[in-house]
Chains A and B, each alone.
Chain A
Amino acid sequence: MKGINFVNLREAGDPVELGREYSRQGADELVFLDITASYEERKTFTELVSRIAANINIPFTVGGGINEIEDVERLLVAGADKISINSSALLHPQLIENIATHFGSQVCVVAIDAREDDKDWFCYLKGGRERTEKKLFEWAYEAQERGAGEILFTSMNHDGVKNGYANEALARLSNKLSIPIIASGGAGKKEHFADVFLKGKADAALAASVFHFGEIPIPELKSYLCSRNITVRI
């Protein structure tokens, strides 16, 4: 069964209404990333998470500003089912173990932003602003071994280009890892979703703008994937 996940950035409109709408349309999971969360904004953010959770009936992943166990607990209590960590995991890999031990691996999604340059994939910090020396495949494997339950991989080369997902890198990840891979970055048309499942071997595909601007209605996308013999929830 392949999942269609909707990612909802804070700037994309009223998150509560959008979450409810995509949950109704048949999105399989909602991912809410708050890329601007500062210390002062945490309380508002937590309240927002709670309001979204109260209004949707599908699994709900929340990321942004998670640095310690207390942050995870706060968001789970607010109604998140999973949390997504990115820069904080790269800087403090031990955080993955801590989360897995406290709440179980199924709670811990490790998000990786990576860019392919010089024929290798490098992981980036802070929403893609700072390059590290960590390589995608090694880091994803390490995250799995430390207890990550899922990997959310965004290809910075493909993100925003709407020309398809990073299927080659995704298939390599899928072969190397034994945990589910969520593909992110590059969705532009329905065929891209079929490709990411068939060629990229992804377990779920995440998209924002093609859903948000109504370019691809979720029910239509799911009927199309069914016609390509890909199992999706209708």
Chain B
Amino acid sequence: MQTKRKLHDSQATNIAIVRYKMNVVIIKYNAGNIRSVDFALKRLGVNAQITDSAEQIQGADKVIFPGVGEAGSTMQFLRQTGMDKLLKSLHQPFLGICLGMQLMCHSSEEGGTDCLGMFDENVKRFVPQVHADKVPHMGWNQLENLKGKLFRDIKAGEFVYFVHSFYVPVCDFTAASTQYIVPFSAALEKDNFYATQFHPEKSGSVGETILKNFLEL
């Protein structure tokens, strides 16, 4: 029963004590799961603004770019609204999640899409090698080769939650890797741009710590 007790304590700390006086923006666009990110930030004591206003995004202390959806139609939407140029020009800490991370790369094999290009990498499609290789990669998997500021207090081998059919290969910007069919980038980091392929907002207390590390950058 000691394990249970320990989980209680760490969770209580996250919810009750940590409070941030900062202006966090979640970018509102035509791809989903904004609500989960909003709920996760609320549990950490942050009331984020969900907005597509250029002024509010530019004035924010932290910007979160979530996403569940399809690369081609999402990039088309970002271009039509001029959001593509705006996002690339930001200087505050910026966190892309899942599709958000893939859109921060140079291009994606999903629909042969040109993306935002913060990371000069090409997003590839998982190719199953045996029957057990199910695509999408969906479920909990382990983080390895951790480096960078997002993973402070996180140990290699911790589990986080993934749902994706495309991946960024391991590259110079890789801040954490995970093995599924091939080793791939679970997280990327370059200057003010951070990105996770997994969903920190759905990854239990490990995910909460990662979000907390981002808020404390």
- Asked whether, in the complex, the Cβ of B4 is within 8 Å of the Cβ of A59, the reply is no
Selected interface stretch from B29-37, B75-83, B114-122: B29-37
The answer to the question of B92 belonging to the interface, with a C-beta cut-off of 8 Å to chain A, is no
The answer to the question of B11 belonging to the interface, with a C-beta cut-off of 8 Å to chain A, is yes
Selected from A24, A77, A106, A233, the residue in CB contact (under 8 A) with B138 is A106
- Asked whether, in the complex, the Cβ of B136 is within 8 Å of the Cβ of A57, the reply is no
- Asked whether, in the complex, the Cβ of B140 is within 8 Å of the Cβ of A3, the reply is yes
The answer to the question of A210 belonging to the interface, with a C-beta cut-off of 8 Å to chain B, is no
- Asked whether, in the complex, the Cβ of B131 is within 8 Å of the Cβ of A57, the reply is no
The answer to the question of A195 belonging to the interface, with a C-beta cut-off of 8 Å to chain B, is no
Query: What CA separation (Å) do A97 and B42 show in the bound complex?
Result: 34
- Asked whether, in the complex, the Cβ of A57 is within 8 Å of the Cβ of B139, the reply is no
The answer to the question of B181 belonging to the interface, with a C-beta cut-off of 8 Å to chain A, is no
The answer to the question of A140 belonging to the interface, with a C-beta cut-off of 8 Å to chain B, is no
Which single residue of chain B is at the shortest CB-CB distance from A76?
B32
Interface size class of B (residues with CB under 8 A): 35 or more
The answer to the question of B43 belonging to the interface, with a C-beta cut-off of 8 Å to chain A, is yes
Chain A: minimal CB distance from B179 (Å): 11
Q: A150 and B35 in contact (CB under 8 A), knowing A58-B202, A106-B68?
A: no
Selected from B4, B138, B207, the residue in CB contact (under 8 A) with A57 is B207
Query: What CA separation (Å) do A210 and B70 show in the bound complex?
Result: 39
Q: A81 and B33 in contact (CB under 8 A), knowing A57-B203, A233-B140?
A: yes
List chain B residues, Cβ under 8 A from A26: 3, 7, 204
Query: What CA separation (Å) do A175 and B132 show in the bound complex?
Result: 9
Chain A: minimal CB distance from B64 (Å): 16
- Asked whether, in the complex, the Cβ of B32 is within 8 Å of the Cβ of A106, the reply is no
- Asked whether, in the complex, the Cβ of B139 is within 8 Å of the Cβ of A1, the reply is yes
The answer to the question of B141 belonging to the interface, with a C-beta cut-off of 8 Å to chain A, is yes
Chain A: minimal CB distance from B27 (Å): 17
List chain B residues, Cβ under 8 A from A155: none
List chain B residues, Cβ under 8 A from A234: 159
Number of interface residues of A (CB under 8 A): 34
Query: What CA separation (Å) do A203 and B132 show in the bound complex?
Result: 10
The answer to the question of B161 belonging to the interface, with a C-beta cut-off of 8 Å to chain A, is yes
List chain B residues, Cβ under 8 A from A77: 35
List chain B residues, Cβ under 8 A from A204: 139
Which single residue of chain A is at the shortest CB-CB distance from B207?
A57
- Asked whether, in the complex, the Cβ of A59 is within 8 Å of the Cβ of B136, the reply is no
Selected from A24, A104, A180, the residue in CB contact (under 8 A) with B4 is A24
The answer to the question of B39 belonging to the interface, with a C-beta cut-off of 8 Å to chain A, is yes
- Asked whether, in the complex, the Cβ of A81 is within 8 Å of the Cβ of B202, the reply is yes
Query: What CA separation (Å) do A233 and B161 show in the bound complex?
Result: 10
The answer to the question of A113 belonging to the interface, with a C-beta cut-off of 8 Å to chain B, is no
Selected from B7, B39, B131, B205, the residue in CB contact (under 8 A) with A54 is B39
List chain A residues, Cβ under 8 A from B128: 178
Chain B: minimal CB distance from A105 (Å): 7
- Asked whether, in the complex, the Cβ of B35 is within 8 Å of the Cβ of A59, the reply is no
The answer to the question of B21 belonging to the interface, with a C-beta cut-off of 8 Å to chain A, is no
The answer to the question of B201 belonging to the interface, with a C-beta cut-off of 8 Å to chain A, is yes
- Asked whether, in the complex, the Cβ of B3 is within 8 Å of the Cβ of A219, the reply is yes
- Asked whether, in the complex, the Cβ of B134 is within 8 Å of the Cβ of A179, the reply is yes
The answer to the question of B40 belonging to the interface, with a C-beta cut-off of 8 Å to chain A, is yes
Chain B: minimal CB distance from A102 (Å): 10
Cβ proximity bits B1-44 to A, threshold 8 Å, 1 near / 0 not? 10110011001000000000000000000001101100110110
- 8 A/B residue pairs, CB under 8 Å, sorted by A: A1-B140, A26-B7, A28-B139, A103-B32, A175-B131, A178-B135, A179-B134, A204-B139
Q: Which residues of A contact B (CB under 8 A)?
A: 1, 3, 23-26, 28, 53-55, 57-59, 76-79, 81, 103-106, 149-150, 175, 178-180, 203-204, 217, 219, 233-234
What 4 pairs across the A-B complex have the smallest Cβ distances?
A233-B159, A219-B3, A233-B140, A79-B35
